[in-house]
Amino acid sequence: MALGTALLSMRAFAKLGPGGATLGRLLSGMILKWIAILGGLFVILIQFKLPPLAAIAGLMVAYAVNLLAFRFKG
């Protein structure tokens, strides 16, 4: 989750410009984020053969913590 968010922020905030270009970078960063997350899930389930329920539950908890972290400033 952290790697995906890092990819999103590097892509979206690399260079500020017109609104349309910035929105395009934000959307492409979001696509990169989900590719990284789903790729990691693929590696966990297929390569390491870990239990699917535990892997998906861990992904959901990591995403919830990520969303809660954005609510706090400081």
User: In total, how many domains does the chain have?
Assistant: 1
Instruction: State the residue range of the domain holding 61.
Output: 2-69
Using alpha carbons, list the distances in angstroms from residue 13 to 5, 24, 40, 49, 73: 12, 11, 24, 36, 19
Q: Are 26 and 14 in contact (CB under 8 A)?
A: no
74 within domain boundaries: no
Task: Kindly state whether residue 52 falls inside one of the protein's structural domains.
Answer: yes
What digits encode the pLDDT tens for the residues 19-53?
A: 888 889 889 999 999 999 999 999 999 999 999 99
pLDDT at 46: 96
Q: Taken in order 21, 23, 24, 29, is the CA torsion positive or negative?
A: positive
Q: Does residue 60 form part of some domain?
A: yes
Q: What are phi and psi of 30, to 5 degrees?
A: -65, -40
To the nearest whole percent, how much of the chain has pLDDT over 90? 47
Residue 56 lies in a domain: yes
Task: Tell me whether residue 19 is in a domain.
Answer: yes
pLDDT at 27: 92
Q: Does 16 have pLDDT greater than 90?
A: no
- Quickly state the pLDDT bin for 57 (edges 50, 70, 90): very high
